[in-house]
Amino acid sequence: MSDEVVADTHYDVLQKAKTWGFKIHDFIRRCKGVDAVKQYLDEWSAKRNDLPFAIDGAVIKANNIALQEQMGYTAKSPRWAVAFKYKAEAACTKLVSVEFSVGRTGVVTPVANLEPVQLAGTTVKRASLHNADIISQLDVRIGDSVYVEKGGEIIPKITGVELSLRPSNSEPFEFSQSCPECGTPLQRNEGEAAWFCPNDMKCPPQIKGKIEHFISRKAMNIDSLGEGKVELLYDKELVRDVADLYSLKAEQLLGLEKTMTDEATGKTRIVRLQEKSVENILKGIESSKAVPFEKVLFALGIRHVGETLAAKIARHVESIDALMKMTAEELVQIGDVGIIIAESIVTWSQSSMHMQLVERLKQAGLQFEVKKQALQSEKLNGLTFVISGAFSSPERRNELKKIVEANGGKVASSVSAKTNYLLAGENMGPAKRQAAEKLGVKIIDENEFLSMIG
């Protein structure tokens, strides 16, 4: 980066950048006057559908750099560049039926089935209807001719109804009263537009969603169960909750298979469990038993308890038993826990199904307490170490840190007058060495360090 002027015009700057290897597309044009700009935009209004990528507009810029500087900036954007947006393309077609789909969090989304129509270069058969409020605002009815628009989203949306084409016998559309997956009456929270299925422990997509969350990388990190395997285990009735994972046996898994269809593309693939993947699944489940309490707490998927908050709560309460006994008043004493989160935790804890689940997971051997590292010795009491340079592996540096702490010592990140020892690996930076020498800090290698505690 430099402030050096490489050209007098924006166009030439871009061409220069291209010679340096930056990807600059070939559709830029220098236009003289407003009419030329209009012509360019009109031209691309049709041609943009042939591009291998989607665009929703174009940016018009002043080309002369001196002029750009003269025009300057507002608080938010340059005055010498203006974005032009094409009107979203719309098509009119018939609404055949509405399906309700249940997401992993229980939210029910209405999806419209349409008579196939061409829109922005693709055939559209399905469109989103968002939620009950939008349906009633638009007064969309089965059999209506509706306008469909394609915005930035993958699935197009219905934006209006052509009332002149409405069949005389049409009736107002009624949103589903019950969950299409499990039949439970739907609920809606005050002030929220979305209806949801409250049967979170028994509703199939919600169960699968919970298990997917449980095994995810930031939770229990059982990645051998990714890519459709949860779906497979659910379909074969082997898992109905996360605790079921811990009683899976190799002979139940071996040879299971299922053809999966990708919702977006319609492509199919076969998931089949062979010896190696069964081995990996069981290994992954087994090692998840060592995952620390804070991650287990996050994995349980208590509403509003995200990764960072779970860690904070875990450190504060130190065990699931303590947490499940706490009142909302006690919970809000923990930093970052507001009343909504506190109530969500209390509601979760008071459910007998959750109590049983935790009990079964405890039986399985999961970590439900913060593990305190027992002090191995006090040989390094009062001593401060700085660890620097490369060791046999990146993990080794971490291990050394733990050894220092387990023997009563402290590890600091930089050398200061308070440092007692600089534990040096290979290729330690010269600055650290100089600092240590200047302050009279003793420099030791790994073997010397180990002999201090050995």
Q: Choose between 102 and 345: whose C-beta lies nearer to Zn ion.
A: 102
Do the Cβ atoms of 368 and 324 come closer than 8 Å?
Answer: no
Minimal distance in Å, beta carbon 108 to Zn ion? Answer: 8
Q: By CB under 5 A, which span of 160-168, 169-177, 179-187, 407-415 interacts with Zn ion?
A: 179-187
- If one asks whether residue 182 binds Zn ion (CB under 5 A), the answer comes out as yes
Q: In sequence order, what are the residues at sequence separation of 6 or more whose Cβ sits closer than 8 angstroms to the Cβ of residue 278?
A: 250, 253, 254
- CB of 102 vs Zn ion, minimal distance in Å: 6
Choice from 68, 93, 199, 388 touching Zn ion (CB under 5 A)? 199
Toward Zn ion, which CB reaches closer, 109 or 221? 109
Shortest separation between residue 231's beta carbon and Zn ion, angstroms: 17
Q: Pick the closer one to Zn ion by CB: 161 or 203.
A: 203
How far is residue 260's CA from residue 226's CA, in Å, rounded to a whole number? 13
**CB nearer Zn ion, residue 173 or residue 195:** 195
Residue 194 touching Zn ion (CB under 5 A): no
Smallest separation, CB 351 to Zn ion (Å): 17
368, 296 in Cβ contact below 8 A? yes
* Residue 95 near residue 158 (C-beta atoms within 8 A): yes
At closest approach, how far in Å is the CB of 242 from Zn ion? 18
Binding of Zn ion by 200 (CB under 5 A): no
Total residues at the site for Zn ion (CB under 5 A)?
7
> What single string gives the DSSP state of each residue in 249-261?
-HHHHTT-EEEEE
Contact window for Zn ion (CB under 5 A) among 139-147, 159-167, 192-200, 344-352: 192-200
Q: Is residue 197 near Zn ion by the rule CB under 5 A? A: yes
When the beta carbons of 184 and 420 are compared against Zn ion, the nearer one is 184
- β-partners of residue 193 are none
Instruction: Give every CB contact of residue 386 below 8 A, 6+ residues apart in sequence.
Output: 411, 412, 413, 414, 415, 419, 421, 422, 423, 432, 436, 441
Q: Per-residue DSSP letters for 258-299?
A: EEEE-TTT--EEEEE--HHHHHHHHHHHHHGGGS-HHHHHHH
Interaction of residue 196 with Zn ion, rule CB under 5 A: no
Q: How far is the CB of 174 from Zn ion (least distance, A)?
A: 18
Which range, of 196-204, 287-295, 339-347, 359-367, touches Zn ion by CB under 5 A? Answer: 196-204
179 touches Zn ion (CB under 5 A):
yes
Residue 187 vs 407, nearer CB to Zn ion: 187
The CB-of-230 to Zn ion minimum distance in angstroms stands at 17
Nearer to Zn ion, 231 or 330 (CB): 231
Crossing angle (nearest 10°) for helices 339-350 and 352-364: 80
Q: Which is nearer to Zn ion, 15 or 184 (CB)?
A: 184
* Residue 380: CB minimum distance to Zn ion, A: 57
Nearer to Zn ion, 144 or 181 (CB): 181
- 282 is written with which tokens? 């069981």
In the range 292-321, which residues lie near Zn ion by CB under 5 A?
A: none
Query: Is residue 181 close enough to count as binding Zn ion by CB under 5 A?
Result: yes
Q: Give the shortest CB-215-to-Zn ion separation in angstroms.
A: 21
DSSP for 41-71, please give it: HHHHHHHGGGSSS---EEEEE--BHHHHHHH
How far is 448 from 454, CA to CA, in rounded Å?
Answer: 10
Which distant-in-sequence residues (6+ apart) come within 8 Å of 115 by Cβ?
93, 94, 96
Element containing residue 331 per DSSP (H, E): helix 328-331
> Which residue number, 107 or 370, has a Cβ lying nearer to Zn ion?
107
Query: With CB under 5 A as the contact rule, which of the stretches 202-210, 263-271, 359-367, 407-415 interacts with Zn ion?
Result: 202-210
Distances (CA, A) of 387 to 188, 431, 437, 446: 55, 14, 15, 10
Instruction: Decide the pairing of beta strands 384-388 and 421-424.
Output: parallel
Provide, rounded to whole angstroms, the least separation between the CB of residue 176 and Zn ion.
11
Question: Which residues of this protein are in contact with Zn ion, per CB under 5 A?
Answer: 179, 181-182, 184, 197, 199, 203
